[in-house]
Amino acid sequence: MGKLKLSDRQLYALIEAVKLGEEVKPSQAAKREAFSKYRVKNWENSKLTGIFYSIQRRLGLIDEIIEELVGVSPLILDPWLRATLRVAVEIAVFRDPSEKTRGHLRGVAHFLSKKTHPYVGYYYYDLLPRVLDYIPVINSKEQKLKWDYLFPEWFITRMHSLIGNEAEELLKALNETLPISIRVNRLKTSVEAVESYLHGKGIRFERSERVDTLIRILDAFNPEWLLNKGWAITQEEAPAIASLILSPKPGETIVDLAAAPGGKTAHMAELMNNKGKIYAFDIDKARIRRMKEVLKRTGVKIAETIKSDGRAAPEVLGKETADRVMLDAPCTSDGTIAKNPELRWRLREKNIPKIVALQKELIESAWKLLKPGGKLLYSTCSMLPEENEEVVGWFLRKHKNAKLIPLDDPYSKGFLEGTMRAWPHRHGTIGFFYALIEKR
């Protein structure tokens, strides 16, 4: 491969995307917004997207290098300077920039001065030679693994303890970019109609073998038209499986305890043929607004959104009012790292107990809502047993009238008999956990 060549405009697009990525989630939305502003063309999109996601994946390492060079945490730097240094370190340390690109990196000082303050531009210009000359020192096995797989050392150790030699396959899979997956909304159209639309656009795609309404788009393509029309919704295979496992029926009363952004709520309404009632709880105002837009676009008529903590749901709705409860519990979300690469460096082992405490309170709330004979699906997008099997085991020991309904299809058995796990390296989707519990 030749040396990396980047123009001023391409560097500006990357810097703005990295800065926006701190404010706009998911990170691909930030990338789209910045790339659109700097008129990134199709022929250059692939190269710049690769660099952008590489920065997200390496963020912890990049920030360690910046801290070594600057002497303080990058988190206290001016946001524009922080984003610029992240781009500069990625290009200088991890790639082979051409002389012209090195010149353009120096020229970024003017861009920085305009965006924030001349002193920031001067500071960056003075620091850049040290960035361009930086050579890392790797002197331990743990550091080497961290540099190879771009994960915190505790997480690498934990995955090794869980699945042994498979751990490296898992870490590799988490470093690969997943194709966009869309789930066809049968309330408005058919799978065949969506496939015909994609054929007409010359887009390569494949249908999921596990969810017959899910399509993976294999080319660079923005499915915005399909989403705006309500014909489809962006959703990974693993969360789509969750609604199929809970299997809500027309006429039933369903509670979705952590519902936003609404993918599973919309899926359940479709499975119910828009007959019955779904109460969709969430506490985040912005996420509820997005969920309402999703439900409106997809033609869902039976969902009522409620801005409230799921732990208060039994008081809001009354006890034993639900035929089925969906609890896709808040979690560390480590199973989604392939979709949200920057997340890996926000994983903190010390935060797990606090998350588990919330999960236990929510599953208790879900149980109070459930009618006798009803079913509760507990799921997370985490791969850590503390948030999954250990929560379910604790719950089953506490509630003698709770019966685990065994799951072993379409993914792998969990570490607790009867539970199920989707693994990124085995199943080509995000990491996910499922436990289906019946109230006897």
426 DSSP assignment: H
Does residue 95 surpass a pLDDT of 80? yes
pLDDT value of residue 1: 59
d(CA 260, CA 429): 20
CATH homologous superfamily of 237-439 equals Vaccinia Virus protein VP39 (3.40.50.150)
Residue 144: pLDDT band with limits 50, 70, 90:
confident
Task: Spot the catalytic one: 156, 182, 381, 422.
Answer: 381
Provide mean pLDDT across the span 242-265: 97
pLDDT value of residue 342: 78
pTM comes to 0.85
| 381 in active site | yes
Indicate the range of 110-124, 139-153, 193-207, 314-328 predicted with least confidence.
139-153
Q: What pLDDT, in 10s, does the model give residues 299-311?
A: 999 999 999 999 9
Q: Which residues pair with 439 in a beta bridge?
A: 402
Does residue 24 surpass a pLDDT of 90? no
3-state helix, strand, coil in the chain (%, to 5): 55, 15, 30
Q: What pLDDT, in 10s, does the model give residues 367-418?
A: 999 999 999 999 999 999 999 999 999 999 999 999 999 998 999 999 999 9
pLDDT value of residue 220: 85
Number of residues that this document lists for the chain: 440
What ranges do the domains of the chain cover?
Answer: 8-132, 142-174, 180-234, 237-439
- Please name the fold of domain 8-132: N-utilizing Substance Protein B Homolog; Chain A (1.10.940)
d(CA 256, CA 265): 7
- Please name the fold of domain 180-234: Alpha-Beta Plaits (3.30.70)
d(CA 42, CA 315): 52
